[in-house]
Amino acid sequence: MSYYECKEFEDHGFHIRHRCFDAIEEELQELKDQVTEEAKSRRKMEDEMKILREEMKELKELLMYRG
């Protein structure tokens, strides 16, 4: 997107300055980065939970075999 600042800026709500769009784009990028990090964290946690489930299953089998 290409936004520009009007030569004759009037503060009536129809004109938006560059700084506003820059701030919005920066905030959007930060939110996208947060979502990416949260997704990575969630995948890692799901992998760890899968491993724990497998270990619990093995422990149950060991206990049943001994008991």
Give me the average pLDDT of each 10-residue run along the chain (67 residues). 52 65 89 98 98 97 85
Contact 49, 56 (CB under 8 A): no
> Three-class SS string for the chain?
CCCCCCCCCCCCCCCCCHHHHHHHHHHHHHHHHHHHHHHHHHHHHHHHHHHHHHHHHHHHHHHHHHC
Q: What per-residue confidence (pLDDT) applies to 5? A: 52
Give the model confidence (pLDDT) of 32-42 as tens digits: 999 999 999 99
Q: What per-residue confidence (pLDDT) applies to 56? A: 97
Contact 4, 15 (CB under 8 A): no
Q: What per-residue confidence (pLDDT) applies to 9? A: 57
Q: What per-residue confidence (pLDDT) applies to 57? A: 97
